[in-house]
Amino acid sequence: MIIKRLSLYNFKNHTEKRFEFSPQINCFVGNNGVGKTNILDALHYLSVGKSFLGNTDLNNIRKEEDFFTIDAEVLNDDSEDQIKIFQPKESKKVIKKNDKSYDRMADHIGYLPSVMISPYDSNLISDSGESRRKFLDSMISQTDPEYLFDLIQYQKTIQQRNALLKYFAKNRVFDRDSLEIYDDPITGHGTKIFEKRREFVTMLNPIVQNFYGIISGGKETVSVHYESHLLEDRFENLLKDNLEKDRMLTYTSKGIHKDDLLFEMDDQLIKKTGSQGQQKSFLISLKLAQMSLIKELTRKTPILLLDDIFDKLDDTRVSQLIELVNRESFGQIFITDTHRERTESVVKKINEESIIFEL
């Protein structure tokens, strides 16, 4: 998958921008605040239909404008597709492929897989399990449309069950039969999600370990473990055994919506024992493993988005990363940096065609 052309209109700080890309390496250099990361965010939109920064769609419309548009030409094997994202202030977002709107945004996920490596990745280590669940869901959704369907249905049903629990508590009533209506869809969708998450992490872990060994020089051993209530018991039993607790809490206390990923180094949580350099190396290894596994499962090479990472790594780790890029054939790469000289130096070490855009 290659993004041939990109046009932005009223997207964040960009009134109008147009780029013709190299099929290999594209770099955006310039001072802080000129909108380098915003271009990567637009590319992320093309992939999954939303901002990687967590901004709402309306907040990405340029100030005092009424809409934003992201328009791109994507080379897909022997064909060329046009992808357009249009977000007006007064109505919902529209995503089109070759002038045909998707019925559901979820149908677009997986068409153009991507992996983003940015300074914000540190949140995966420091934040709550929700960040790591979203990361895991994003990875699997790009490889499996059925997974995304199950996830949407599960989340909708959990919300309905929780709303009913709150209604019972507020009105001091209880109807077990009404609550049990949600058991089958929750356990059905939830069990499929659990099994796919467990299988995916099992495949991901050795790839992370391999990349970390290359980047770090093999000084430590890292691992990714999947943590879930469903490793302890069947979902049906969890709902039944925790019913009284759920009534008291007014929400569903057990299930795959509480899953987490444990990131460990030498059998200890990396957020407690890992240095900044070790954590950065782990996160890059995790994202490269994500890219490798998506490529293996979909037979598509994801685009790789590198946001300001050379400023966060020492020379040794930069060299190891460049070696990996050369070895693994990661496909089309987009890089942001504040220093043109440093970018040119890094790119020269990669055996690929490159274009540098100065903003």
Domain boundaries, the chain: 1-113+315-359, 127-299
Phi-psi region of 194 (alpha: psi -120 to 50; beta: other; left: phi over 0): alpha
Residue 16's Cβ-count burial label (10 Å; 0-12, 13-18, 19+) is exposed
Q: Is 49 annotated as belonging to a binding site?
A: no
Q: Is 37 annotated as belonging to a binding site?
A: yes
- Range 127-299 has CATH code 1.20.1050.90: yes
% of the chain at pLDDT higher than 90: 72
Q: Is 60 annotated as belonging to a binding site?
A: no
Q: Is 129 annotated as belonging to a binding site?
A: no
* pLDDT 10s digits, 205-260: 999 999 999 888 778 899 999 999 999 999 999 999 999 999 999 999 999 999 99
% of the chain at pLDDT higher than 70: 99
Is 80 exceeded by the pLDDT of residue 326? Answer: no
Q: Is 35 annotated as belonging to a binding site?
A: yes
* Same fold for the pair 1-113+315-359 and 127-299: no
Alpha-carbon gap, residue 252 to 133, rounded angstroms: 17
Q: What is the CA radius of gyration of the chain?
A: 22
Q: How confident is the model at residue 153 (pLDDT cuts 50, 70, 90)?
A: very high
* pLDDT 10s digits, 55-64: 889 999 999 8
* Beta carbons of 35 and 6 less than 8 angstroms apart: no
pTM beyond 0.85: yes
Name 334's bridge partners: 26, 305
* Beta carbons of 235 and 191 less than 8 angstroms apart: yes
Is 80 exceeded by the pLDDT of residue 273? Answer: yes
Q: Is 31 annotated as belonging to a binding site?
A: yes
Average pLDDT score over residue span 160-168: 97
Can you identify the CATH homologous superfamily of domain 1-113+315-359?
A: P-loop containing nucleotide triphosphate hydrolases (3.40.50.300)
pLDDT at 22: 92
Q: Is 33 annotated as belonging to a binding site?
A: yes
Q: Is 34 annotated as belonging to a binding site?
A: yes
